[in-house]
Structure formats: C-alpha cells, structure tokens
Amino acid sequence: MGGRWDERDVPSLEGKVALVTGANSGLGLETSRMLARHGARILLACRNPNKAAVAEEQVGAVAVSGAEVVQLDLASLASVADCAQRVRDRETKLDLLLNNAGLMAIDRAKTEDGFEMQFGVNHLGHFAFTALLAPLLLATPGSRVITVSSMGHRMGVLDLDDLFFEKRRYDRWRPYFQSKLANLLFTAEFNRRLRAANAATSALGAHPGATNTDLGHEGSGLTNAVLRPFAGFGQAAWTGALPIVRAATDPGAEGGQYYGPQWMLQGHPRLETPSHRARNADDARRLWARSEQLTGVTFDVAAP
C-alpha cells in the first residue's frame, strides 16, 4: 500500500457482514457505501424509518451483496436490546461493527432511561449494543469493532461522579467532549480484555476530523448558530469516512489503534495517538464497570 491510503486500498470484503449505526446520513452513509462497493453486506442500523429507507436504496444501488435496515434507537436500552436480539437471531456472523451514530452539542435532554442524552447515545448505547452483539462478534474470526470518536476527545474530562452533568454546569460542549473521550476509553479497555481472552476480535477507534455533516447544527445555543454558516467548509463526508473505513478494513490495522486525518482536521487517514486522558487505563476500567452498572448489561468478552 502507498503512503496516501484511500478507498482504492480497501481489500475485497466479499462474504463479510458489516453493521453501521447511524447509517442513514453523513459519515455512516458514506462508510456504508464504501464497504458495500467492496463486497460487504450492510446492515443499516437507523432510528428514523423514512431516512433509513432512502439510505437503503442509496447503499443498495452500489452494493455487491445487498443492504438492509435494522431499527435501532440508541437513546433507548430497550431498542438496543431488541435490535441486538434480532441481529443475533438472523445472522450467523458479524465481521464489522461500526459504532458511528452520535449527537453533538445538543440542548440538554435525557434518554428514555434517564441518561444525559449525549453520553447516553454516544457511549452507553453503543456500549450496551456492542456487549449484546459480542457473542456474534467473538464467534467471527477476525471481526473488528470500530468506535467513532472525535478530535474533541482531547478536550474531554471524565467525571465518573457526575457523568450526566447534574453537578456541573451543562454547556452542551463539555458533555460532548466527555462522551467522545469515553468512546476511546471504551475502545482501549475492550481491546485489553479481548487480548487477555485471546479472542480473534479487535477493537479500534477512528475520527473524521472536520467533516461537513449536520452534527452540531441541532442545538439552540450561540455556538450552534455560529456553526451553521460554516456548513460546507469542512471536508466531504466521504473523505471524513476514510479513517473509519481504514480502521475497519486495512489488513495492517491492529487492535487498540486510532485512525484520523493526516492533518487532524482533514487529509488521508493515518495512525494517530489518542490524548493522555484517553490512555488512562484506570479510568478505562472504572468507566467499563460504571457502564455495566448503568446499562444493566454484563459485557463478557471471553472467547467462545
């Protein structure tokens, strides 16, 4: 492979099954298209049925092995459990799980289960979903779990005593940064446990840099208003998806690695080093235990 990794470096994915959360738009849609073009059968895990139907048609138009929608609302642990059960019932393998869906800088809100919305969707929903799909992943040799973080994780501070900003002031950005830091702490601890269990599954992280998506435009705050006029100035979603696709498909990628754009904001994907806080092993272990407690899901990574 050359120094500038791009979609031409994606190997054949024929026979592989990939599930992408938040696949109806932005990074999730472009990631799904790339994987589909190279032969993977795509499960589009989406919350909005109407948007999901459009995405299914778009991905299906380029898919070699087909694409189908699975209903998933990461703001509801009941929906997470139902979706995971349906996938386990229907599939005999799962080669790639891409934890892509996310919220950024939204107004204060709570999930169905009472969690702060950004932490609940970006981290806890994906934590529970991955845990419930673990038996299928662990039974698939060479499977990978890619969790999408953000360069904003570098500003994140994890407060295990106030994960939902009930004591701290809620300012929409700090909860987002904390959730993206949690994504990488989860990835690190997940990969550590996989290695300890000698499992043939790997956990990796990725981030898209500054990419033109609709993230960050939903809230009513001043910073949300400032972001809207700059929509279109970031790199295209298909370029932002490249680090995610590289983490998922590069034969040389290894568990625990983190991929992002060459110049952090944009560019071809390269290996990156997470922040010091994202490499805190004690925080990663404690977050894992707290996540099991909050979701009520026991995450067993023992190989079958």
The chain-wide mean pLDDT, for the chain, equals: 92
Amino acid 262: pLDDT: 87
Domains for the chain: give ranges and CATH numbers.
Answer: 7-295 (3.40.50.720)
pLDDT for position 86: 98
Q: Is 258 a catalytic residue?
A: no
Q: What is residue 231's predicted lDDT score, i.e. its pLDDT? A: 47
The residue ranking higher by pLDDT, 216 or 4, is 4
pLDDT of 235 reads 83
pLDDT for 23-32, tens place per residue? 999 999 999 9
Res 214 pLDDT > 90 = no
Catalytic site residue from 170, 176, 258, 259 = 176
pLDDT of residue 217: 44
Task: Report the chain's C-alpha Rg in angstroms.
Answer: 18
Q: Are 102 and 126 in contact (CB under 8 A)?
A: no
pLDDT at 221 over 70: no
Separation between Cα atoms, residue 290 and residue 267, nearest integer Å: 36
Q: Is the pLDDT of residue 227 over 50?
A: no
HSE toward the beta carbon, residue 247, CA cutoff 13 A: 32
Ordered DSSP codes for 19-40: EEETTTSHHHHHHHHHHHHTT-
Is pLDDT of 215 > 90? Answer: no
Q: In terms of pLDDT, which residue wins out, 83 or 2?
A: 83
pLDDT at 222: 42
Q: Please count the helices (runs of H) and the strands (runs of E) in the chain.
A: 10, 8
**Nearest of 208, 205, 271, 270 to residue 238 by alpha carbon:** 208
pLDDT for the residue 224: 43
* Nearest CA among 144, 105, 99, 162 for reference residue 125: 99
What's the pLDDT score for residue 266?
Answer: 79
CA neighbor of 145 nearest in space, from 126, 125, 118: 126
219 vs 255, more confident? 255
In this prediction, residues 146-157 reach a mean pLDDT of 98
b/e per residue 155-167 (b: at least 16 CB within 10 A): bbebeeeebbbee
Task: Identify the band that residue 213 occupies on the pLDDT scale cut at 50, 70 and 90.
Answer: low
Phi first, then psi: what are they for 213, rounded to 5°? -130, 180
Residue 278: per-residue pLDDT: 98
In this predicted model, what pLDDT tens digit does every residue of 98-119 receive, in sequence order? 999 999 999 999 999 999 999 9
**Average of per-residue pLDDT across 185-195:** 98
